[in-house]
Amino acid sequence: MAVSFLTHELSELCLGKPPLKSISTSATVVEAIEVLRSSDESFENLLSPSSALKASIVNVLPKVHGLVVHLEPSSSLLEAIDLILQGAQNIVVPILQTKRSGISRRKQLLKSSTINSHNGAEFCWLTQEDVIRFLLGSIGLFTPLPACSIDSLDIISSDVLAIDYYSPASSAVEAISKSLAQQTSVAVVDSDGEFVGEISPFTLACCDETVAAAITTLSAGDLMAYIDCGGPPEDLVRLVKARLNEKNLEKLLQEFTILTSLTGDVSASSSSSSDEESPSRTSTRSGKYARSSSYSARFVRKAEAIVCHPKSSLIAVMIQAIAHRVNYLWVIEDDCSLVGIVTFSNILNVFREHLETI
């Protein structure tokens, strides 16, 4: 029965989760970047003044209280769901050392001295997706809820962040910032209210510094094309240069020209290489622009929006979101008109209410 979920502990969700990398609050931004570079997925592509890199990491931490919360491994799944519904995006849970009794004492001591350890303890990171995956693993216990349409469950939110296709991309900056905090994206719609696509802060995070010039000069629709498919079209690159010149943004134009020329060199090298070579292989560069490319060389996120229909079942939406590694789906009608958005938070609220009835 679904009531059995009331007894589940967070330690069950932590199995197999890698330990978090930690860094002191007294560390600088540049030290944090080095930690990110050593991780499996790297999104940082910075071209910033040295003074900014020397600033304390505290200056770039989120100011919103409650986005990250700490819970004990013995805490219940229900506690975690309640905190997520109150606004928490990530839950930090200590990794039980008793689970590693087979590891030698020497290896444990070596492990505790690494960057993955904080005061000798290791922690893992649980997200909304982790909780949704856990629920999906025993979805049959919640029958008939999974088969209900998201429309009938009333979990489609009409309160969406949106921008017109032809509006300046720069006018979406505030909405993009809000969408990052909400773990969603900004919808791009035409004059008839039809859904065209999205501007995702997670896609933007994979872009290099040239995207700043693109946001400054392009429309929302053109920006979608600029950040899509691993690299900007050449005609949009020329358009950005022309508009930077019109705006007399000489310094930004100079930086943009240098960066896009380096990107072009990498693209030409990739196209002439063997198809059997790894797609992540890039040419080695040194100096100020060494890490510049249209997208991060280690991670490419296509800007295509993930959509569903109001009559889509709850389980179909859950599977679709997990398969595409997103926390939300846009809901559109058959004529592509935008209905709203359904998020993991909306879905968790349905399960929470269901548990209250049993």
Q: What is the mean pLDDT of the chain?
A: 78
* Residue 85: pLDDT band with limits 50, 70, 90: very high
**pLDDT computed for residue 102 by the predictor:** 45
The structure tokens 């930086």 sit at 255
Q: pLDDT tens for residues 234-283?
A: 999 999 999 999 999 999 899 889 888 876 544 444 444 444 443 333 33
Q: pLDDT tens for residues 94-135?
A: 987 644 444 444 344 344 334 454 556 788 889 999 999 999
Query: What DSSP designation does 157 have?
Result: B
Binning the chain into helix, strand and coil, the percentages to the nearest 5 are 45, 15, 40
Distance CA(117)–CA(297), nearest Å, equals: 28
**pLDDT computed for residue 290 by the predictor:** 35
Give pTM, 2 decimals: 0.76
CA dist list (Å): 239 to 148, 166, 218, 221, 268: 48, 15, 8, 14, 21
Query: Taking CA 214 as the corner, what is the angle to CA 209 and CA 215, rounded to the nearest 5 degrees?
Result: 100
* Residue 298: pLDDT band with limits 50, 70, 90: very low
Query: Taking CA 143 as the corner, what is the angle to CA 139 and CA 345, rounded to the nearest 5 degrees?
Result: 55
Q: pLDDT tens for residues 169-215?
A: 999 999 999 998 889 999 999 999 999 999 999 888 888 878 899 99
Question: Which ranges in the chain are annotated with CATH 3.10.580.10?
Answer: 3-97+116-141, 152-260+303-357
Q: Find all residues with CB under 8 Å of 269, minimum gap 6, and list them.
A: 282, 283
Using an 8 Å Cβ cutoff, are 342 and 328 in contact?
A: yes
What class is the 152-260+303-357 domain?
A: alpha beta
For the domain covering 3-97+116-141, report its CATH number: 3.10.580.10
- Whether 23 has a pLDDT exceeding 50, the answer reads yes
Distance CA(228)–CA(304), nearest Å, equals: 7
**pLDDT computed for residue 4 by the predictor:** 62
**pLDDT computed for residue 219 by the predictor:** 96
- Whether 56 has a pLDDT exceeding 90, the answer reads no
Using an 8 Å Cβ cutoff, are 303 and 227 in contact?
A: yes
**pLDDT computed for residue 29 by the predictor:** 67
**pLDDT computed for residue 273 by the predictor:** 45
**pLDDT computed for residue 276 by the predictor:** 44
